[in-house]
Each structure stands twice: as C-alpha cells, then as structure tokens.
Chain A
Amino acid sequence: MTDATTNDDGIVRAADGTPLKKRLGQALFRSRLRAFGLVTPLLLMIVMAFLLPVVIFLKQAIYNPTFESNMANVSPVLAQWDAVSEPTEDMYAALVADLVQARKDKTIGKVATRVNRELSGTRSLFTKSARKAKKLEAPYKEALEDISKKWVDIETWKAMKIASKSWTPAYLASAVDMKYNADGSFERKAEERRIHLKLFVRTMEISIIVTVMGLLLGYPVAYLLSTLPARTSNLLLILVLLPFWTSLLVRTTAWIAVLQGQGVLNDLFVVFGLATDEDRFSLIYNKTGTLISMTHILLPFMILPLYSVMKTIPPSYVRAAKSMGATNWTAFWRVYFPQSIPGIGAGGILVFILAISFYITPALVGGEDGTMISNFIDFHMRRSLNWSLAAAMGAVLLVIVLFLYYLYDRIVGIDNMKLG
C-alpha cells in the first residue's frame, strides 16, 4: 500500500510516480514477447499455408479477370453498353482487335471457356472467329456475321458483358441457384437447373442425422466408459480409438463389403428370412450407405468429448439427487444430463462440422442421392475446372457453418463447450 498510492486524479501510481498500469505493462513486456515468440512459427505456418491460400481461393468466388485482362479493347466498351441497344460498329471493331490479339497470345481458349459458362455453345464461336479475325476488314459487323449469325445475337453480347466484369457476384449467385443477368439483376434459375440448393439441403440433412445418430449411440457408451473402473474403461477406450488407427479409406471400403447387395449384412438378412435372395436391401451407393458409414466413422469424435466431460461429473451428484428422493430417471434427467450438455455441445459441433464437409465416404458409398456438397466442389475443381464456382460454393458452405456456429454460441454458449 505504501508503494502504490492513489492521487487526486484517481490514477494508481508506483513509488516513482509513473502510473502503475504502465509500470506493470513494462514488467510484463518481456514475458509477453517470449510467449509470442513461442507461437510465432505455428502462426507463420498457418498464415502462409492455410489462411492466405483460403483467402486467395475464396477471392476467386467473386473475382475472375480472364475476360477483362485478355480482351482489353472490348471490355471497357462492354462496361459502357446498356445491354439493350444494338451493339455498334465500334464495339465490333474492338472485338475483332481483341480476337486477333487473344489468338496471338494463345489465350483465346480461356476467354472462350469463360464466355461459354455464361452462354453454352459460344466456345467454338470464339475459337473459330479468332482464327479468321486477322483477315477481316471493315465493316466488322457484317464480316463477323458472315462467320456466324450468333455474332448479331444480343444474347452473345450479354454473355460477354457478364464475363467482362472481373468483380462479379455471378458465381455466388450460381452457387445458390440464382442467375446474374447482364443488366445487373438476379433471377432464379430454371426449375431443372436448380441443383445446388438441393445439395446444400441434403448436406445439412445428412450432417444433422449423423450428429443425432452419433449422439444417441455415443452417449450411453461415453457414460459407461466414465463410470467403469479405470482398467476396464481404458481397455474399452482403446476400442473406441481403434478406428482412428485405421485409414478412413479402409473403413469406408469395409462398409462396402458389409452393406453391398451380396454383402455380409444382406446375406444374414436372407439367412434369417428378413429378405428374399432376389429382393435384397440396397444399403449402399445411396443415402443410407452414406449415413451408416459416416455415423460409424465420426462416432469417436462424439464419444471422446462426451467421455471427458462425463468423467468430471462426480457420482455424488446423482447420489445426492437419489438421496433426496429422485428416481433414477429424474436424477439422470434433472441432474446428470444438464451437466453433460457441454460435452454434447462439443461433440455435436465437432461431428457436425466434420460431417458437413465430408468427402471420401460420400464419394465412395454415396451413389446418386448420397453425395454431398463437397463432392460437387471437388467436381468443379478437378473435372469442369470451374474454380470460381467451386470457390463460391465453398464460401457459401463457410458462411453456413459460421452462421450455425453463431447460433450455437447464442443458444448454448461457446464457453459452455468442453473438450476435456
């Protein structure tokens, strides 16, 4: 009390008159520096190898400069154009100049692909015209019309206008089954072309079912583990952890062996007369297969947080409840269960987030109606090479997860989650 004195201004000061807060900050500076030094390597790695790539990739969802950077003359003209009036001769001239240049730079293929995404059938139009562009003479409108009638179609120009915008909401719109028009408006895609939303809904549905199933199957196991004597529970815990030591691929293929038409389970059904030999259950290459194998694969992620929370609930709570006259069920429901909620929260959110982005298992056993959004992202990454759309779908998925995380925080509270 003699070293720290409060002055009239209300600031606590150290013996030499400097504010105590400043003094404390100086004293703690070195230890803070050292603490920061310890995390720096990991921080750098995460920033360089994770955060930066994620940000760069997500940027592709709203930024695609393929057209604008390779078609330098026509792009500013397209930006001016109102997307309603007839394209002028100047616009055709700019287009021909760009086609010549793009052919020289060997970038016409990329440009053609980009426009083709907005209006299918334009790919060959661009490559064919670019080959002949060098020999074209004014008036360019008629010259291009000679190559293809499509050049005087305003839809072609609209597609070019959409593609010419490097910063574009088109991909995000497409990820949620909307269409971005040349005049800047949005509309829903035609009924038969709405596939993404259905896929998002199915992904959510599968993730929720897997989480609930995991909870129903995992809760009793975790309870048993937490109440058994240490030796037995350690042995059983190894059995729970065993799947972690087996490759995900192996576990999934094992399920194929069990669930397929001529598989172990169906054979047993036939033996016990639950199914006829000709009419076996289709348990795999559909949603059922995805649900069964994903529940199994993600179960340890549910059991472990539950177990670690239940381990900390002293048996005396339930005993106290019983001594006060509560039946087994009341003691469980009113006293034990509320205290295990942090474990349910942790296990649930862990399983849900892993499930929502699950890839290998639905790819192998999902078939037609058991595939998830991540399989579609993979398709656009590796097959159709539409990275911008893949990025847009990834971004939508990220937003959904963050939103659910926020909801969870509001309802359960993030600090109510315990992993151990």
Chain B
Amino acid sequence: MARDSNPEGFVVFDHVQKSYDGEILVVKDLNLSIAKGEFLTMLGPSGSGKSTCLMMLAGFETATHGNILLGGTPINNIPPHKRGIGMVFQNYALFPHMTVGENLSFPLEVRKMGKSEREAKVKRALDMVQMGDFAGRRPAQLSGGQQQRIALARALVFDAELVLMDEPLGALDKQLREHMQYEIKHLHESLGITVVYVTHDQSEALTMSDRVAVFDDGIIQQLSTPDDLYERPQNAFVAQFIGENNKLLGVVKSVKGDTATVQLDNGATTEALAVNCGDVGNRTTLSIRPERVNIGGRKTKMSVEGEVKELIYLGDHIRCRMDVHGNEDFIVKVPNSAGHTHLKEGEKTMLSWSKEDCRALDA
C-alpha cells in the first residue's frame, strides 16, 4: 500500500510554518510529500495543526513561512478559486438555497460550462454516489448521510485531481460512518484521485488511508502506513493515540543491539525492543498492545505475575484489567475462543509477551 514519498510528490509541503498571533507556531516546520493517487490522512487531536495544514493547502490560510507545491508549482500566491482543489467540509456546506442539482452544477457554471455538458456531469456525479433521483431536492430535505454523499459528489463533479476532506464523517452515526468510509475508499480507488483527509478518529484513519500522518503540537509525530503505525509506533504519543496501549514507565539500564534492559519504577527489570529510548539512564515508556499479552505459560525473562482486578465481558473478547508492575490499569484482551483461559477476579496469573511487542519509547 505504501507509495514512495519522493520529494517530487504531487502535493509538497516544504518547511511550512504557520502562526496566527506571531507568538505561537501552530504548524512547526512541516515537510510532507504526497504522491499522486495517494490517500493520505492527517490524524491528530484537536489543536494539533492538522486542519490548519488542510486550510493552507486549500488556500483559506496563508503559510507564514515555507512553500506549498501542487504538481510542482508553488501555490502560495494562487487564490483558492484558481487552485482547482475539490473540498468536502465538516458540515457539508451544501448551499441551502439551491437544490441538489444546482449545488452540483455550481462549480461547472462558474467554469462557464455549457448546459448539456453540465447536466451530463451532474448526473454522472450523482449516480456515482447513488443519489441519482435526488437532483430536485433541497439539502434540508436530505438525511445526514445523503447530504454527505451530495457534498462528496459536489467535490468530485468538476474532475478535481486533488480532493480535501475535513472531518467529513464527523456528524454521522457510527454505522453510517463506517459505511461511508468504505464508499469514499472505493471512490478514491476507482477515480484515481489524490485525497487528503483530516480526522481525529484513529479507526477512520486506519481503515481508509494509504498513509497516515499523526499530528501533535504542530509536528508530524509519525508518517507511515496504518499497519506500521499500529504495530511499530515510533514514540509514546503515537503508541497512546493509535489504538489501545499499556504503558510501563522505567529507566534504561543497558542497551545491547536492539534490546534494552529497563528497570521499572516498582524495581523490577524487564527487556524491551529499543526503538526510541535513548541512552542508558534515560527515562522510557514501554508500550505493549493489550492483545499481544499471553496469559499463563512458563516463566521466562519477559514474563511477570499479574493480579486480575476487573473482568468485562465484551462478547468477542474479555477485557481484563490487571495489576502489572504496579500499573493497575494494565489491560489484557482475552479472546473468547474455544478453550480460552478462564480468569477470576483477584486471581494471580503469569503474563508474558515477546520482546518485539514491548517497545521502549520516549518518556
């Protein structure tokens, strides 16, 4: 899935900085190259700078420093209406005083397209999102999901090569949101457009994207494919932000090759994969995914005894909160498979994980 991010990408952010008040940088030195046809998601908590980046790309905010290139040309001084970028807004921004058909034909009208050509394109775009019968309706007469589709069709109707989406599914309920995720994904694949997608929902980012840029504090914390992001987080923020994560804090005692020996805060010592833990003496966060913990088994160098604090039955798995190395919120997911280990509250059991699944990251 990963496409190579050569510096001559379709969209390039080159040392871009943005400040609103001249004191605080909301985007600090952003370098990002997006290949043609890629689906790139900017993921991050609110205030992380991801939306600002999208607005700079669309032309509604100007970069304080640095260049943004689209297809090799700098677009800093090109006004938004000349950039030819399709955009889907958070609240859809469908014009309430126009019908669905008029909404879709608006971008074609301002391009001075002939009537018959307009009608054909509008019809094609509506059919693409399975809304062919709705051209005469007003946006207010449509449900949230239908408005979403229209907004999508409107961004695609004028054949933009680059489409930006600013949390487009935020207002939909869970089921519809998941359905639309697949639809957007399929449209992206069939049309071959480049999509830059902004969201704060990590599962959305993982489902849809070729690559995900995790934003925090105005910096891209990690830029990689969804599986890389989940399985090989580069720092504590990413590990914590993407998926569920168990944290153990400690100090690095020794580093041998890719193995770090870490003394945890409760005195115990364990080994971990040295990813981003620095030198001996540094504080480090060990990150372990709940589903990568094995229950029972023989005692090894990596294993530890844990006490079951709470059990929550979730159907496909059982969520088990345990006291491990003094961390009382250590979560272990026990799959509800035939012959799985039955635990009781208060019971002590051996836990183990492989070295690769315990990543020593920055503190």
Contact = CB atoms under 8 A, between A and B. Distances in A.
A317 interface: yes
Given A316-B93, A319-B93, A327 B87 contact: no
B285 to A, nearest CB: 39
Nearest to A315: B60
Contacts of A316: 89-91, 93
A325 B93 contact: no
Interface stretch (B105-113, B233-241, B352-360): B105-113
Contacts of B80: 319, 322-323
Contact of B95 (A317, A322, A327): A317
A321 interface: yes
A106 interface: no
Given A323-B58, A325-B81, A327-B81, A317 B93 contact: yes
A338 B98 CA distance: 10
A381 interface: no
A396 interface: no
A317 B91 CA distance: 10
Contacts, number: 65
A324 B93 CA distance: 12
B342 to A, nearest CB: 43
B154 A324 contact: yes
Contacts of A327: 81, 110
Residue among A320, A323, A328 facing the most chain B CB atoms (10 A cut-off):
A323
A335 interface: yes
A339 B97 CA distance: 7
Given A334-B106, A335-B95, A338-B97, A320 B111 contact: no
A334 B105 CA distance: 12
B85 interface: yes
B86 interface: yes
A343 to B, nearest CB: 13
Contact of A319 (B84, B89, B155): B89
A323 B97 contact: no
B81 A314 contact: no
B107 A325 contact: yes
A152 interface: no
B60 A319 contact: yes
A345 B339 CA distance: 73
A324 B122 CA distance: 14
Given A321-B106, A339-B96, A314 B87 contact: no
Interface string B282-308: 000000000000000000000000000
A330 B95 contact: no
Contacts of B58: 319, 323
A401 interface: no
Interface string B66-104: 000000000000011111111101110101110000000
A322 B97 CA distance: 17
Nearest to A319: B60
A104 to B, nearest CB: 73
Contacts of A321: 95, 106
A326 interface: yes
Interface in B129-161: 154-155, 158
Of A324, A330, A335, most buried by chain B (CB within 10 Å of CB) is A324
Contacts of B93: 314, 316-317, 319-320
B90 A323 contact: no
A327 B109 CA distance: 12
Chain B interface, >50% SS class = loop
Chain A binding site: helix, strand, loop or mixed by DSSP? Answer: helix
A260 to B, nearest CB: 47
In the complex, which of the residues A316, A328, A339 has the most CB atoms of chain B within 10 Å of its own CB atom?
A316
Interface in A136-164: none
B60 A324 contact: no
A316 B154 CA distance: 14
A324 B97 contact: no
Interface in A326-377: 326-328, 330-331, 334-335, 338-339
B97 to A, nearest CB: 5
A327 B106 CA distance: 12
B269 to A, nearest CB: 55
Contacts of A323: 58-59, 80-81, 83, 85-87, 155, 164
B215 to A, nearest CB: 21
A334 to B, nearest CB: 7
Interface string B30-49: 00000000000000000000
A24 to B, nearest CB: 28
Contacts of B79: 322
Contacts of B60: 319, 322
A320 B89 contact: yes
A326 B79 CA distance: 10
A339 B95 CA distance: 9
A323 B166 CA distance: 13
B110 A320 contact: no
Contacts of B97: 338-339
Given A327-B110, A330-B110, A338-B97, A322 B91 contact: no
Nearest to B104: A324
A317 B96 CA distance: 9
Contacts of A317: 93, 95
A332 to B, nearest CB: 12
A262 B356 CA distance: 92
A323 B80 CA distance: 6
B91 A325 contact: no
Contact of A326 (B96, B106, B164): B106
Contact of A324 (B59, B96, B158, B164): B158
A54 B164 CA distance: 61
B295 to A, nearest CB: 49
B198 to A, nearest CB: 14
A288 to B, nearest CB: 38
23 contacts: A314-B91, A316-B90, A316-B91, A319-B89, A319-B93, A320-B87, A320-B89, A320-B154, A322-B59, A322-B60, A322-B79, A322-B80, A322-B81, A323-B86, A323-B87, A324-B110, A325-B81, A325-B82, A325-B84, A326-B107, A326-B110, A330-B110, A339-B95
Given A319-B80, A320-B93, A339-B97, 18 more contacts: A314-B93, A317-B95, A319-B87, A320-B87, A320-B95, A321-B95, A322-B79, A323-B58, A323-B83, A323-B164, A324-B81, A324-B110, A325-B81, A325-B82, A325-B111, A326-B106, A327-B110, A328-B81
